[in-house]
Structure 1
Amino acid sequence: KHGALGYGLLNASIGAGAVIGAVSLPRVRARLSSDQIIAAASVVFVLTLLVMAFIHQTALVVAVLFLGGFAWTSTTSTFNIAVQTCAPAWVQARLLGAYQMTFQAGMAIGSAVWGAVAERWSTPAALTVAAAGLLAGLPLARRYRVITGNLADLSSAAALARSDPSVVVPLRPEDGPVLISIRYHIDPAQTQEFVSAIHELKSVRLRDGAMRWGLFHDASDPTRFVENFLVESWAEYLRQRKRLTVSDLAVRDKVHAFHQGEGNPRISRFIYTPTNNRNAV
């Protein structure tokens, strides 16, 4: 009806809303949680889509698109912040890249589906389907929260951890795999609590680069447990130690608190040694 000028006005409206949303987001975040922002923005988007589908009053559509732009920026910024605050510094770039790839893939697939629905039925039908999809996703926000509880302390604890292990065998960075074996002596009455605590440590080991992890109980000594995990190379093992966060250190210290032997649990490091098949036993 309004041609290129009207289309430009609609784009300007949603763009202005996006800019105002970016400027206002710090104040919004001070009053609402991340999940509340996303839920509110989803409701605003539903209303925006329905107004665009069924109402043709230019002034109202422009006003609603302004709110839609505000909601759009609030949502994307909140997701970006959540991704960056839930991962330690050493993996943030990779995690953000994976998130952006997933986000863009969703945009591409959603655009194709939206276009197919609009071509098969009509533009209002496609807008209504999009609104219905957002409404259907709202209950999931109650179950799958963006950020739950208090954020873990993801600052580096490399300076608080022990120094690099001393070795007498000459090692190259690419040597490996490396088997790390840690021996614990615990009170048999605390076995269940120990196993539960070390299960949390398992997640830390695997996340930081371990390929395999296992906990073994000495059949001849009920007080003795051995934690084993396998790392790809000596260089990767040293990197794993530097990836330790303050939160990870607290998990490790919780496990070590069960140890009743003298000093800290004993750590042994084994480097894989290739064997000639003809001489193998």
Structure 2
Amino acid sequence: MRQIHSIQQGPWLAMGDYNVVVHPQDRLCGTDVRDMETKDFKEYMRDTGMNELQYVGRNYTWTNNHTYSRIDRGLVNTTWMMTMPNVKVQVLEPMVSDHSPLKLEICQAQGKKNRPFKFFNCIADHPQFMQHIEEAWKDRSTNGRMQTVWNNLKGVKEAIKSLNTQHYKGVDGKIKEIRRKLQRIQEEMSSKLQNKELSDKEKELKGELEKWGKIEESIYRQKSRVQWLKLGDSNSAYFYAQMKNRNHLNEIQNLTNEVGTQLMMEEDIEAEILGYYKKIAWIKS
């Protein structure tokens, strides 16, 4: 599979029996999962950038009627996650086999909703960051101490949001524009050799490209929550794929209500969850 990965350029899916567990919870009623039996497979996933698709249905895909294990899974490469993230693996009933068949499902993309503001670490590297924070913290005193703290924190949040909007919104667009400018400069330099003005401009654009490339990578890393891979070596595509995979894993694609009906529509799932917690709140009151 490593060889296939090295020559495969487009999106690809590898789904089936890998005969290996990955996590401690992947085995029930058997020997404990040891690091040595998961090491090679984890290294393969790390080296190739393969991601495991979200699965629904049975927790375990194989059994000998004593031990239960999850050894069947669907893996996709980075290109797949960047282009087709809305898929999942359904683990079906095994019937007469010791393995549960896997079924690939295409999910309905959920509509975009307003999300809470997230603080990205790169904002703190802005040269005016501390100045914005200090100014936002001033002159917000009230009669109550906690109200003062609340007002100050709210002011700081607005200052950070403003800084983010002014300087860090649309990072991918900034990078594309810098690359276009750099390409034009280098094309012009090919016919105007040893032109100091063009050479200085090229150096400036290369510096800008490196700066914004690091910022983009830092943002994608934070969104993906991948902690083991260090920044550098242009890992943006990998972090982006991990972020898309994490967002998909966090989505609730279907839900079975208390009478056994499976809900697939987003508005039905939302109404069921709200109704459930309203019922709990009413019982407690």
TM over 0.5: no
Counting helix residues as a fraction of each chain, which structure ranks higher?
1
TM range (shorter): under 0.3
**How high is the TM-score relative to the length of structure 1?**
0.24
**How high is the TM-score relative to the length of structure 2?**
0.23
